[in-house]
Structure 1
């Protein structure tokens, strides 16, 4: 009887999960701006509280000022990116021609050294190489444009942010009432505080990581003498919004610029090497140190949720994957039913890697002591 009930609960949970995913996919145009608004509301909430306490402004005025400050910063960043991109695109024909000639020369060298015919793998030397460069560059630029303007596309997000911050006490009271049958008020309050801390740590930590990575990228490009070093350095840092993939895409454009403007191929390899090294530092030292253990997810889970959310919501899903999963981890950690899933999402501590070795060491010591 117990086994039948357990199977019934599993089927219900599985059906509920499938239903949630289905609804999230169908209502993505409605849900994505709201999720962005919730996360960004958490980010600007300290500014709202500052104006309320420091200047004794009423809630509406404080929220309005905070949102104006935030939207002004976002608009300035995107406007700067657009202006710089326009300047670069004005030189695109020159860049394409230089890259095409270098790749053609490289293909000819490959042909002479390997005996392969150029037509076998690229077609006409003078035309197809240039077209290949243009097509791939266009794809990269489209990705950057799409990922960089995600927030700007959702015109309702500022309105949602305003309403969430305005009705924050009312919404919290609703959550208390909704969870009254399954949790105490103290437990719910604790979970809400943990969710707030997770989002604050993630968002503020992400901003700090972007600044540090942007500076490191810019210094590396400056040392190599690449054009527009600070623009490309901070653009790649901004693309950290798309974990793992963003900085890779951000490194390709300056590598192509290096290929077009420098005499040696090694400058392009140098750009990719520097960005890869900085990506290694960011993933293993900078981000774990700044964001802290409260938002730590193990690497396997991070990659899997990014892939799954990208399938569900596209590029916005890739951006939202980690903060949503970190929030789910907090909820699972405080749920007896799903605590094991929360454990699975978290960082794998060293003791779990070394447990077998320690057990073997203990057995060996016991055998040695007996002898």
Structure 2
């Protein structure tokens, strides 16, 4: 009887999960701006609190001023990116011609060395390398334009941010009342505090990481003598908002510029190598050191949720995947029913990577120490 009841619970949970995913897909145009507004509200809340407590401003004025400052910064960044893109695109024909000639030379050398026909390499006998470059680079520019203008597309997000911050005490009181049956007020307060800490650690850490990575990228491009070094360096850092994929897209553009403006092909390889090395440092040293989040996600889960959210919501889903999953982990960790899922989402301890032989060696050394003592 208990087994049948347990199976029924599993089926119900699975159906509930499928329904949630289905509703999330159907309501994506409604939910995505709300999630962005919630996360960004957490980011600017310290500014609002400073205006209210230290400067004694009215709540409405404090929230309005904080949102105006934030949107002005975003607008300024978008305008700078647009101006720089316009300058680069004004030279695009020259870049295409130089890259095309170099790629044609490479293809001809490959054909002479290997005996493989150029038609087999580029897919068509009459295709122009210049046209091929234009088609692919247009896709890259469209991707960056879409990812860079995500926040600007959501006109309602600033309004949602204003309302979330204005009604924050009212909404928290609602959560206390809504969860009074399944949890105490103290436990709910603890969960909300942990959710706030997770988002703050993630957001502030991400801003710091992007600044450091932007400086490192720019320094590497300056050493190589690549044009628009600071623009490409910080653009690539900005694309860290899209985990794993952003760094790849961000490195292709300066590599193409290097290919067009430098005599040697090695400059393009140097750009990709430097960006790859900086990405390695960022992922293994900078981000873990700066974020210091109490709730961390393991690499396997991070990659899986990014893929799943990208399938669900596209580029906005890739940006929202990690903060939403980190928040879910806090909720799961504080739920007896879903605590195993919270465990699965978190970082694995060192013991799970140790081999049996290594464990036996540790036990043997421990026994020897006990005998000597």
The bucket for the TM-score relative to the shorter chain is: over 0.9
Which position in structure 2 is the counterpart of 1:186? Answer: 186
- The alpha-carbon deviation at position 353 of structure 1 amounts to 1.3
Q: 1:293 to 1:351 in 2, by over 3 A?
A: farther
Which position in structure 2 is the counterpart of 1:72? Answer: 72
Alignment partner of 1:311 is 2:311: yes
**Gaps (5+ residues) in structure 1?**
none
- The alpha-carbon deviation at position 38 of structure 1 amounts to 0.1
Q: 1:319 to 1:366 in 2, by over 3 A?
A: closer
Counterpart CA distance in 1 for 2:355 and 2:120 is 54
Q: 1:125 to 1:77 in 2, by over 3 A?
A: farther
- The alpha-carbon deviation at position 119 of structure 1 amounts to 2.1
Q: Deviations over 1:41-63 (max 9, x none)?
A: 00000000000011101110000
Between 75-84 and 286-295, the greater mean CA deviation after superposition: 286-295
Do 1:221 and 1:233's aligned partners in 2 also have CA atoms closer than 8 Å? yes
- The alpha-carbon deviation at position 131 of structure 1 amounts to 1.3
Counterpart CA distance in 1 for 2:301 and 2:293 is 15
Alignment partner of 1:158 is 2:154: no
Q: Deviations over 1:9-40 (max 9, x none)?
A: 11111111011000000000000000000000
- The alpha-carbon deviation at position 363 of structure 1 amounts to 6.2
- The alpha-carbon deviation at position 364 of structure 1 amounts to 5.2
Which position in structure 2 is the counterpart of 1:113? Answer: 113
Counterpart CA distance in 2 for 1:123 and 1:243 is 32
Do 1:201 and 1:295's aligned partners in 2 also have CA atoms closer than 8 Å? no
How many residues in Structure 1 have an aligned counterpart in Structure 2? 370
Which position in structure 2 is the counterpart of 1:49? Answer: 49
Which position in structure 2 is the counterpart of 1:333? Answer: 333
Alignment partner of 1:351 is 2:351: yes
Alignment partner of 1:92 is 2:89: no
Q: Deviations over 1:284-320 (max 9, x none)?
A: 1111111114242110000000000000000000000
Q: 1:266 to 1:126 in 2, by over 3 A?
A: farther
- The alpha-carbon deviation at position 163 of structure 1 amounts to 0.1
Counterpart CA distance in 2 for 1:166 and 1:102 is 58
- The alpha-carbon deviation at position 171 of structure 1 amounts to 0.2
1:90-239, aligned counterparts within 5 Å?
90-122=90-122, 127-239=127-239
Do 2:220 and 2:274's aligned partners in 1 also have CA atoms closer than 8 Å? yes
Which position in structure 2 is the counterpart of 1:321? Answer: 321
Do 2:52 and 2:58's aligned partners in 1 also have CA atoms closer than 8 Å? yes
TM-score with structure 1 length normalisation? Answer: 0.97
Between 356-365 and 134-143, the greater mean CA deviation after superposition: 356-365
Q: Deviations over 1:151-171 (max 9, x none)?
A: 000000000000000000000
Q: Deviations over 1:164-192 (max 9, x none)?
A: 00000000000011111111100000000
Between 347-356 and 86-95, the greater mean CA deviation after superposition: 347-356
- The alpha-carbon deviation at position 348 of structure 1 amounts to 1.0
Moved over 4 A (4+): 123-127, 362-370
Q: Deviations over 1:193-231 (max 9, x none)?
A: 000000000000000000000000000000000000000
Counterpart CA distance in 1 for 2:120 and 2:321 is 42
- The alpha-carbon deviation at position 365 of structure 1 amounts to 6.2
- The alpha-carbon deviation at position 366 of structure 1 amounts to 9.4
Counterpart CA distance in 2 for 1:101 and 1:319 is 37
Which position in structure 2 is the counterpart of 1:34? Answer: 34
Q: Deviations over 1:126-145 (max 9, x none)?
A: 85211111111011111100
- The alpha-carbon deviation at position 360 of structure 1 amounts to 2.2
Do 1:221 and 1:229's aligned partners in 2 also have CA atoms closer than 8 Å? yes
Do 1:37 and 1:161's aligned partners in 2 also have CA atoms closer than 8 Å? yes
Which position in structure 2 is the counterpart of 1:342? Answer: 342
TM-score with structure 2 length normalisation? Answer: 0.96
- The alpha-carbon deviation at position 117 of structure 1 amounts to 1.6
